Copies of this chain bind each other. A is one copy, B any other.
Amino acid sequence: MSASYAPTQAPARTPKGERTAERILDAAEELFAEHGYAGTTLRDVARRVGVRIPSLYNHFGSKEALYGAVLDRGIGPVLATLGEFVDSGSERYRDSALVVARVMEVLGRHPHLPRLVQHEILSGGQHLTPMLRDWIGPLFARAREILEAGPAARHWPADEIPHLVLAFYHVAVGYFTMAPLYGQLGGGDLLDREALARQTHFFTELVRRLLPED
């Protein structure tokens, strides 16, 4: 079967250069997530990759381009996944528990993305990649529509639905942004398996109480 060839061919498909670009993105993602755009230095990125600064320019045209690539690579898939739920709406994902579980799973697998996005949001999204701008608006709009058409309408005044959307967003994302400080203040690691499971359960319960299914 062809599947057995895959492992052998893989190295051929990822030449040295591509792998370096990937490693740069990895390093940059972590650093941008931790220190934001202004607080991250190409020197830091290069050091973490184990490469000299000018080499970065063989893969990305500028710091800004690197930042954009990080956002695109990291956030694109996440937004896509989230978009799936939102778009398939009342059909496959009618069960809010499923949605919450899926969201937590996706974010838990990419724990710096929320911080990355929060940095952007804090500064008004001046660097927000176009792709992100094109996604985040519609995503919020669609989430709102679904809530307006669903059970939320029976529990919340129409003009507070956007606030509900924002609240869900912040509960979901805030948990991850808080993780480093929380650990540093002695609160334990919010990103370990148990904590994540607890948060998933908690979040599910929270949604259930805010949007009871009668």
Interface residues in chain A, defined as those with a beta carbon under 8 Å from any beta carbon in chain B: 34-39, 115, 118-125, 128, 133, 136-137, 140, 156, 159-160, 162-164, 166-167, 169-171, 173-175, 177-178, 180-182, 184-187, 198-199, 201-203, 205-206, 209-210
Contacts of A201 in B (CB 8 A): 160
Contact A166 B181 (CB under 8 A): no
Contact A202 B170 (CB under 8 A): no
User: A interface, by DSSP: helix, strand, loop or mixed?
Assistant: helix
- Interface residue from B119, B121, B181, B199 paired with A163 (Cβ < 8 Å): B199
Within the assembled complex, what's the spacing in Å between the Cα atoms of A184 and B128?
12
- Interface residue from B137, B156, B180, B203 paired with A124 (Cβ < 8 Å): B180
Q: How far is the CB of A133 from the nearest CB of chain B, in Å?
A: 7
- Interface residue from B118, B160, B198 paired with A118 (Cβ < 8 Å): B118
